[in-house]
Amino acid sequence: MTKSYAGGCACGAIRYEMSSEPIFENHCQCRDCQKRSGTGHGSYLTFPQRANVTIAGEAKEWRVADDNGNEKVHAFCPTCGTPVYLTFVAKPEPIAVHATSLDDPGQFNPQVVTYTIRGHAWDTIDSSLQKFERMPPG
């Protein structure tokens, strides 16, 4: 049975919901995630089809290039500033939501840690997770 995933920003102005399963769940230690989160990494659930996600409310967006030069589009609440989701210019179908934006963050089940080459010794993450210096192929 497919679980439902719902969440949104801190003030409730942006809400999302989807019934598909995530195709990738990761902690990312890239510098972009560090700067945006204010910590050592960001945590995400990536879903296969943005078209299957219902989003209510108007997000502000900003674009940034990743280490490979690919543009990511970050969506955040213009009222409270909470980062809510991101999309990828080169691959417009998937959508990634921030794990802590879920109504039930316990639904997040990380599979890997990405961009460990940018990680910090003080940001320890579950040692049983598979680690990649950059984004794994696929």
Asked whether residue 121 is assigned to any structural domain, the reply reads: yes
Question: Cβ(90)–Cβ(70) under 8 Å?
Answer: yes
pLDDT of residue 138 exceeding 90, the answer is no
Kindly report, residue by residue over 15-35, the tens digit of the pLDDT: 999 999 999 999 999 988 998
Question: Cβ(108)–Cβ(11) under 8 Å?
Answer: no
> What tokens appear for 108 in the block?
């997040």
Asked whether residue 138 is assigned to any structural domain, the reply reads: no
Query: pLDDT-derived band of residue 86, with 50, 70 and 90 as boundaries?
Result: very high
The whole-model pTM stands at 0.91
Torsion angle in degrees (nearest 10) through CA of 57, 62, 65, 67: -70
Query: pLDDT-derived band of residue 37, with 50, 70 and 90 as boundaries?
Result: confident
Range of the domain at 35: 5-131
- Summarize the confidence of residues 4-16 as an average pLDDT: 97
Q: What is the CATH number of the domain that holds 36?
A: 3.90.1590.10
> What tokens appear for 127 in the block?
């040692």
pLDDT of residue 10 exceeding 70, the answer is yes
Q: Tell me the average pLDDT of the chain.
A: 93
Question: Cβ(57)–Cβ(77) under 8 Å?
Answer: yes
Kindly report, residue by residue over 40-79, the tens digit of the pLDDT: 999 999 999 999 999 999 999 999 887 777 899 999 999 9
Q: What pLDDT score was predicted for residue 3? A: 84
Q: Provide Rg for the chain, Cα atoms.
A: 14
HSE-up of 23 (CA within 13 Å, CB side)?
10
Helix then strand count (H, E) for the chain reads 1, 11
- DSSP structural state of residue 56: E
Structurally, the chain folds into a number of domains equal to: 1
> What tokens appear for 86 in the block?
């991101």
Asked whether residue 111 is assigned to any structural domain, the reply reads: yes
Asked whether residue 45 is assigned to any structural domain, the reply reads: yes
Asked whether residue 137 is assigned to any structural domain, the reply reads: no
Q: What pLDDT score was predicted for residue 66? A: 75
pLDDT of residue 99 exceeding 70, the answer is yes
Asked whether residue 66 is assigned to any structural domain, the reply reads: yes
